[in-house]
């Protein structure tokens, strides 16, 4: 059987990866879907995934079990699981970059569709607020306000980050413009020199041939 | 005895509070859409505001007028199309959910070239006056806090949108830079090659093997 080319649908969670309550997506047999997330350095990230059971009573057959791999953009493996129904992972991102979580389902003759429920939280929302509440016996309102405060701080940080990126882009554009400027002078110089060389060469050639 | 019950009530209130406020919030994703790509989100309450944005972060494809963009369709649990945006390269959306249930958010790509779409969906719930009347643990201040939370979420959503657009601009700029420099250098090389060929040809015309009198 021809190995069906794996439809790698790269789900890039490229942008600020703040909250994520269950995201659901469907996987066909022998299909890979990857979710990548741009995580900032030193931020906590927690991920939980499970297969949505089509039939609550019956246990999940092997063909419906997932294989998961979580890797960083540098190739380090943070989590991997074979043929599981559910699982979770948590780590602190050492450096900023794209972290990918890939899911795939083994090959099966009649094409089956597996619904995966994935919950990936980063930054502010990775904090388990229910635990904080239990431990500190904090007032519900205080907790909510604390959460809002953290959110505001993260918004502030994100603004700085966006500003930095904009500056980088401006630098890039400036560099491109100045390069084009110098290249246009080069083109003028090149044109004139090529014409001059042609002229000089042909003149000496004809003089040699005693035509001039 | 009273303290214990009060403690329990607070825990319950907290749970209710958390439930009411932390409603589904999909983090920004980008999907490489070759044909159709769908995401499912569960909406808890009728009347919740579903808001979000999406941007097509095209990698190497140059957006020409031929490529109309992608379509975005939101389907309610009943199967009706609640919201649709056709042929766009990125937009924001906001609407009220007509009913609770599982909503489907789909991206359609009419062309075979895969496009990467980055999107963010947020489902927000603000306790209404009706909820206030029903649940005695809810304070009007909780409504205000919920509104504040929603406002902050909208700021976050806008930031994600800006970040996605910035990424796209960056790709465009980098690709433009590469192409312009490549074409310019290529042009110079062609110029030099053409002039060398010219010289060779002229020399050949005047070479001894060809009767140059005939030129």
Q: What is the mean pLDDT of residues B104-109?
A: 89
Longest dimension (CA), chain B: 124
Nearest-CA residue of chain B relative to A186? B188
Window from A41-55, A114-128, B55-69, B180-194 with minimum mean pLDDT: B55-69
Residues from chain A contacting residue B109 (CB–CB below 8 Å): none
The Cα B142–Cα A144 span in angstroms is: 9
- What pLDDT does B10 receive? 44
Q: Cβ A12–B10 below 8 Å, yes or no? A: no
Min distance A179 CA to chain B CA atoms (Å): 8
More confident residue, B183 or B2: B183
CB proximity B43 to A under 8 Å: no
CB proximity B32 to A under 8 Å: yes
Per this entry, what is the length of chain B?
A: 215
Min distance B192 CA to chain A CA atoms (Å): 7
Q: Please work out, in degrees rounded to the nearest 5, the angle formed at the alpha carbon of residue B190 by the alpha carbons of B185 and B195.
A: 130
Which of A54, A52, A53, A86 minimizes the C-alpha distance to A67?
Answer: A86
The neighbouring-strand residues paired with A49 are A87, A118
Task: State the burial class of residue B133 (Cβ atoms within 10 Å of its Cβ: 0-12, 13-18, 19+).
Answer: exposed
- What pLDDT does A168 receive? 93
Window from A132-146, B8-22, B149-163 with minimum mean pLDDT: B8-22
Q: What values do phi and psi take at A75, rounded to 5? A: 100, 0
- What pLDDT does A1 receive? 47
The Cα A11–Cα A203 span in angstroms is: 65
For the record, the structure tokens of B153 come out as: 């979420």
Min distance A21 CA to chain B CA atoms (Å): 5
Share of chain B above pLDDT 70, in %: 76
Q: What is the mean pLDDT of residues B52-69?
A: 69
- What pLDDT does A6 receive? 30
Residue indicated by tokens 């796209």: B168
Cα B64 to Cα B57, B58, B159, distances in angstroms: 14, 12, 27
Distance from first CA to last CA of chain B, Å, rounded?
Answer: 119
Which of B137, B131, B133, B130 minimizes the C-alpha distance to B15?
Answer: B137
- What pLDDT does B95 receive? 92
Q: How do B81-88 and A66-71 pair as beta strands? A: unpaired
Window from A31-40, A121-130, B50-59, B73-82 with minimum mean pLDDT: A121-130
- Nearest by CB to A144, from B17, B195, B206: name it: B17
- What pLDDT does B6 receive? 52
Residues from chain B contacting residue A120 (CB–CB below 8 Å): 27
- Nearest by CB to A19, from B25, B57, B139: name it: B25
- What pLDDT does B13 receive? 40
- What pLDDT does A135 receive? 66
- What pLDDT does A4 receive? 35
- What pLDDT does A129 receive? 62
Average pLDDT over chain B reads 79
Note whether B103 and B78 are within 8 A (CB): no
- What pLDDT does B20 receive? 36
CB proximity B44 to A under 8 Å: no
Residue B140 belongs to what H/E stretch?
A: helix B140-205
Q: Cβ A10–B188 below 8 Å, yes or no? A: no
- What pLDDT does B61 receive? 55
Mean pLDDT, 10 residues at a time, over chain A (212 residues)? 36 36 79 76 86 78 84 86 88 82 83 84 71 66 87 93 93 94 93 93 89 74
| DSSP, residue by residue, B1-34 | -HHHHHHHHHHHHHHHHHHHHS--EEEEEEEEES
The Cα B162–Cα B192 span in angstroms is: 45
- What pLDDT does A8 receive? 33
Nearest-CA residue of chain A relative to B29? A13
- What pLDDT does A119 receive? 82
More confident residue, A174 or B1: A174
- What pLDDT does A15 receive? 33
For B177, residues 6+ apart whose C-beta sits below 8 A from its C-beta are A172, A176, A179
Report H helices in B101-139.
129-134
Q: Cβ A12–B30 below 8 Å, yes or no? A: yes
Note whether B37 and B31 are within 8 A (CB): yes
Min distance A153 CA to chain B CA atoms (Å): 11
- What pLDDT does B207 receive? 76
- What pLDDT does B158 receive? 93
Min distance B78 CA to chain A CA atoms (Å): 18
Cα A46 to Cα A28, A78, A125, distances in angstroms: 25, 12, 9
């Amino acid at each position: 059987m021809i190995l069906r080319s794996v439809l790698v649908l790269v789900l890039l969670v490229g942008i600020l990866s703040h909250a994520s309550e269950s995201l659901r997506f469907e996987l066909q047999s022998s299909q890979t879907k990857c979710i990548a997330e741009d995580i900032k350095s030193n931020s906590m990230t927690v991920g939980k995934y499970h297969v949505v059971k089509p039939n609550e009573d019956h246990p999940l057959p092997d063909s419906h079990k997932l294989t998961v791999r979580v890797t960083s953009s540098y190739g380090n493996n943070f989590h991997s699981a074979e043929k599981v129904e559910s699982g979770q992972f948590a780590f602190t991102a050492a450096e900023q970059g794209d972290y990918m979580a890939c899911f795939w389902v083994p090959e099966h003759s009649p094409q089956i569709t597996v619904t995966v429920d994935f919950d990936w939280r980063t930054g502010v929302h990775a904090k388990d607020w229910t635990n904080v509440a239990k431990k500190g016996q904090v007032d519900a309102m205080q907790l909510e306000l604390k959460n809002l405060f953290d959110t505001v701080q993260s918004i502030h940080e994100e603004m700085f980050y966006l500003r930095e990126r904009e500056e980088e882009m401006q630098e890039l554009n400036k560099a491109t413009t100045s390069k084009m400027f110098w290249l246009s002078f080069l083109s003028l110089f090149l044109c004139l020199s090529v014409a001059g060389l042609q002229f000089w060469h042909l003149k000496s050639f004809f003089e040699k041939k005693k035509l001039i | 005895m009273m303290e214990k019950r009060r403690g329990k009530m607070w825990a319950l209130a907290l749970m209710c509070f958390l439930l009411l406020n932390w409603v589904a919030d999909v983090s920004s994703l980008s999907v490489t859409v070759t044909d159709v790509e769908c995401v499912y989100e569960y909406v808890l309450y009728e009347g919740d505001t579903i808001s979000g944005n999406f941007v097509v972060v095209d990698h190497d494809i140059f957006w020409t007028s031929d490529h109309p963009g992608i379509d975005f369709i939101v389907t309610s649990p009943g199967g009706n199309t609640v919201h649709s945006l056709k042929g766009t390269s990125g937009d924001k959306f906001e609407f009220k959910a007509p009913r609770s249930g599982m909503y489907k958010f789909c991206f359609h790509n009419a062309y075979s070239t895969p496009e990467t779409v980055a999107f963010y969906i947020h489902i927000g719930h603000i306790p209404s006056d009706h909820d206030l009347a029903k649940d005695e643990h809810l304070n009007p201040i909780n409504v205000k806090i919920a509104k504040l939370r929603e406002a902050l979420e909208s700021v976050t959503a806008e930031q994600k949108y800006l970040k996605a657009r910035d990424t796209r601009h960056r790709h465009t700029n980098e690709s433009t830079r590469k192409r312009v420099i490549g074409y310019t250098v290529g042009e110079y090389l062609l110029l030099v090659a053409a002039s060398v060929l010219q010289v060779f040809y002229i020399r050949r015309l005047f070479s001894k093997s060809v009767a140059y009198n005939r030129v």
